[in-house]
């Protein structure tokens, strides 16, 4: 813990030193590391009840921030752009496996194609807000319907492990989607891409009063026409935390 604190202090005060590419990990090693962090953010392991619970409060906002770091220390920008392009395509081929059991985590890996499409809208929110600050090219990586403007993103008991599930009423029930999330990641075709997605980051979560989040205005307008719902759930326990809320009850909040 002391080493981590010291490293953070050094970065803050003195900045990062760029290193020659020969002194850094290889492209394959970098990709492996980023993929492992990403997959275990998508599908976190389960936590036992107190006092043996383990909290892993990372979300895609933390991962997106992590993507800025390698370029600052010397990795080529196109390596990071190519990696994000694979993620935003909606699927990836990898032998990395998320840990889907109770912590601690053993290693078990096999090559296969996995789905990343349920998390793309979460990336859209972050990319729109940081589009002109991203230190690697994104033009060829973004899906056609992705927002690129910060102005298009609207805001609509606390717990660091809440995620939000959005889904069409005709696609599936919230209970089924939450229970199938691991199988969907591993390539289960049903429900189809575009009929549901997940937000790992929220502005505010109070189960009994209000849940506040950001989405593209254009996307919300499409969702109103397609009868979408939102529900909060705990990915570390697999428990649904709220009742489904139809899009007609969402309210736009002016910041």
Say whether pLDDT at 60 is over 80. Answer: yes
Cα 120 versus chain centre, distance: 8
Q: With contact defined as beta carbons under 8 Å apart, do 212 and 156 qualify?
A: yes
Say whether pLDDT at 21 is over 60. Answer: yes
Say whether pLDDT at 159 is over 60. Answer: no
The CA distance from 157 to 211, in Å, is 11
| Mean per-residue pLDDT of the chain | 80
User: What per-residue confidence (pLDDT) applies to 92?
Assistant: 87
Q: Which of 23-32, 97-106, 131-140 has the highest mean pLDDT?
A: 23-32
What mean pLDDT is predicted for residues 79-90? 92
Write the DSSP assignment of 39-79 as a string of letters. HHHHSPPB-PSTTS-------HHHHHHHHHHHHHHT--HHH
pLDDT grade for 7, boundaries at 50, 70 and 90: very low
Comparing 208 with 144, which gets the higher pLDDT? 144
What mean pLDDT is predicted for residues 207-235? 88
pLDDT grade for 53, boundaries at 50, 70 and 90: low
pTM (two decimals): 0.62
Comparing 79 with 236, which gets the higher pLDDT? 79
Say whether pLDDT at 65 is over 80. Answer: yes
Say whether pLDDT at 167 is over 90. Answer: yes
The CA distance from 69 to 11, in Å, is 11
What mean pLDDT is predicted for residues 173-188? 90
User: What per-residue confidence (pLDDT) applies to 25?
Assistant: 92
User: What per-residue confidence (pLDDT) applies to 42?
Assistant: 86
Write the DSSP assignment of the chain as a string of letters. -HHHHHHHHHHHHH-PPP--GGGS--HHHHHHHHHHHHHHHHSPPB-PSTTS-------HHHHHHHHHHHHHHT--HHHHHHHHHHHHTTEEEES-----SBSS-------EEEE-GGGHHHHHHHHHHHGGG-SS--TTTS-TT----GGGEEE----TT-EEEEEETTT--HHHHHHHHHHHHTT---SPTTSEEEES--SEEETTTEEE-EEEHHHHHHHHHTTEEEEEEETTTTEE-S--EEGGG---B--
Query: What residue has token string 């849940």?
Result: 211
Say whether pLDDT at 110 is over 70. Answer: no
Comparing 202 with 110, which gets the higher pLDDT? 202
Q: With contact defined as beta carbons under 8 Å apart, do 227 and 247 qualify?
A: yes
């Amino acid at each position: 813990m002391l080493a981590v604190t010291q490293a953070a202090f050094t970065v803050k005060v003195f900045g990062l030193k760029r290193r020659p590419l020969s002194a850094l990990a290889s492209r394959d090693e970098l990709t492996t590391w980023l993929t492992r962090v990403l997959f275990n953010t998508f599908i976190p392991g389960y936590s036992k009840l107190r006092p043996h619970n383990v909290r892993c409060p990372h979300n895609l906002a933390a991962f997106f921030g992590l993507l800025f770091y390698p370029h600052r220390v010397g990795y080529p920008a196109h390596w990071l752009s190519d990696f994000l392009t694979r993620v935003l395509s909606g699927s990836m081929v990898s032998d990395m496996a998320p840990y889907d059991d109770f912590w601690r985590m053993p290693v078990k890996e096999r090559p296969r194609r996995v789905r990343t499409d349920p998390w793309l809208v979460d990336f859209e929110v972050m990319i729109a807000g940081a589009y002109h600050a991203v230190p690697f090219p994104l033009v060829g990586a973004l899906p056609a319907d992705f927002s690129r403007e910060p102005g298009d993103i609207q805001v609509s008991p606390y717990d660091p492990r809440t995620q939000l599930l959005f889904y069409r009423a005709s696609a599936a029930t919230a209970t089924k989607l939450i229970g199938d999330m691991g199988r969907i990641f591993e390539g289960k075709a049903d429900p189809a891409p575009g009929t549901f997605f997940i937000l790992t980051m929220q502005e505010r979560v109070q189960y009994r009063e209000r849940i506040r989040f950001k989405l593209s205005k254009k996307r919300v307008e499409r969702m109103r026409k397609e009868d979408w719902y939102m529900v909060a759930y705990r990915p570390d326990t697999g428990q649904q935390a709220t009742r489904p809320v139809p899009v007609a009850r969402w309210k736009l909040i002016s910041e």
